[in-house]
Amino acid sequence: MEVILQVLRQQPQQAPRMQRYTLEVQPGTTILECLNRVKWEQDGSLAYRKNCRNTICGSCAMGINGRSALACKENVGSEIQRLEAGGVLQTEDDRPIFTVTPMGNMPVIKDLVVDMKGFWQDLKAVDPYVSTASRQIPEREFLQTPDQRAKLNQMGNCILCGACYAECNAKEVNPAFPGPHALAKAYRTWVDSRDDRTEERLEQYNQGTAGVWGCTRCYACNAVCPMDVDPYDQIGKLKQQILHRKGDQDSRSIRHRKAMVDLVKEGGWVDERKFGVRVVSNTFRDLPGLFSLGPLGLRMLVRGKFPFTFEASEGTAEVRSLIEAVQALPHEDK
């Protein structure tokens, strides 16, 4: 079959431009093979990263038809099926059009090659290494049980391709957020039975929007991860460990989470009249926070969007019992 590969190309100090290439391919031809053929047969100036060609190294991560993926993993046939299922397959003269772009949240060096310096700095910032101090124990090995080792398997599958980082909405608006890749590695280090910095690490990850609370819970990282690491799930586990140790007076981020659960227990869903008061004003303990709600409250009143009453959900009792059952479960630790 004949396909059109359109690549977003960019040179230093120049505006990006879309360039098209026509290729004769088979359904099983990978996107990386398409790029290789363009480079070898049509345009040797095309720049992109690649290495293993076997979904191991993570080098060939890039934007493929609107989401970050590994070019060596995705093929022409599967992409056509995915785009058709979503109703977004573009064609020209019955030829499918595939769009390839550089990854997001990272500066472009050339064409599909991005500068990953920030990616590696964010990873380093969470100190994702088992503490060397914990290994300074004489006359014995550092053994782990099969169960202890199994806790590391999912996060250990991360190949640091950058796909989750490129799709992260929190990183896009908040440069201080370390990114899902870093926090997934952070949880892998925290849960390691050989590490002795348990509480210190949780304090580090509890630094407001510069830590786990900066996550916007969009699930984009889970959706694009080619290795099923599910970074958002690991961020959630870190949050649970922090919430287990902290009270609602420790920070607004923690109060936000606890207030939401308490309000859902009370009424089946969140009573928005109480939510801002409990979280932002800390139930009238934080007067500046309370006054900061004034402009928003006035705008809501003017536009008729301020709820004067609250009607509890019909299933409040069932919701409350479910939450309480979950809260009564034994707390999972290392």
Per the domain annotation, does 23 fall within a domain?
yes
The answer on pLDDT for 167 being more than 90 is yes
Residue 157 shares a structural domain with residue 91 = no
Residue 316 shares a structural domain with residue 288 = yes
Residue 225 shares a structural domain with residue 208 = yes
SS3 letters across the chain: CEEEEEEEECCCCCCCEEEEEEEECCCCCEHHHHHHHHHHHHCCCCCCCCCCCCCCCCCCEEEECCEEEECCCCEHHHHHHHHHHCCCCCEECCEEEEEEECCCCCCEEECCEECCHHHHHHHHHCCCCCCCHHHCCCCCCCCCCHHHHHCCHHHHCCCCCCHHHHHCHHHHHCCCCCCHHHHHHHHHHHCCCCCCCHHHHHHHHCCHHHCHHHCCCCCHHHHHCCCCCCHHHHHHHHHHHHHHHCCCCCCHHHHHHHHHHHHHHHHCCCCHHHHHHHHCCCCCCCHHHHHHCHHHHHHHHHCCCCCCCCCCCCCHHHHHHHHHHHHCCCCCCC
**pLDDT one-digit tens code per residue, 20-35:** 999 999 999 999 999 9
Last residue of a domain, one of 245, 272, 294: 245
The answer on pLDDT for 87 being more than 70 is yes
**pLDDT one-digit tens code per residue, 174-229:** 999 999 999 999 999 999 998 989 999 999 999 999 999 999 999 999 999 999 99
Per the domain annotation, does 115 fall within a domain?
no
* Residue numbers of the domain that contains 149: 123-245
Residue 241 shares a structural domain with residue 316 = no
Last residue of a domain, one of 245, 272, 288: 245
User: Whole-angstrom Cα distance, residue 181 to residue 239?
Assistant: 16
Q: What's 215's domain CATH number?
A: 1.10.1060.10
The answer on pLDDT for 139 being more than 90 is no
Residue 239 shares a structural domain with residue 129 = yes
Residue 138 pLDDT: 61
Per the domain annotation, does 76 fall within a domain?
yes
Per the domain annotation, does 81 fall within a domain?
yes
Last residue of a domain, one of 199, 221, 245: 245
Lowest mean pLDDT among 75-84, 115-124, 173-182, 265-274: 265-274
Confidence of residue 307 (pLDDT cuts 50, 70, 90): confident
Number of domains present in the structure of the chain: 3
Residue 190 shares a structural domain with residue 170 = yes
151's tokens: 């806790």
The pLDDT mean for the chain works out to: 94
Per the domain annotation, does 334 fall within a domain?
no
Tell me how far the alpha carbon of residue 233 is from its chain's centroid: 9
Identity of the residue numbered 133: A
Tell me how far the alpha carbon of residue 121 is from its chain's centroid: 17
Per the domain annotation, does 333 fall within a domain?
no
Residue 185 shares a structural domain with residue 259 = no
Find the mean pLDDT for residues 61-88: 97
Opening angle at CA 38, ends 35 and 39, nearest 5: 90
Find the mean pLDDT for residues 275-279: 93
Q: pTM surpassing 0.85? A: yes
The answer on pLDDT for 135 being more than 70 is no
The answer on pLDDT for 67 being more than 80 is yes
Residue 221 shares a structural domain with residue 273 = no
Per the domain annotation, does 332 fall within a domain?
no
Residue 216 shares a structural domain with residue 289 = no
Residue 231 shares a structural domain with residue 261 = no
Residue 141 shares a structural domain with residue 241 = yes
Per the domain annotation, does 116 fall within a domain?
no
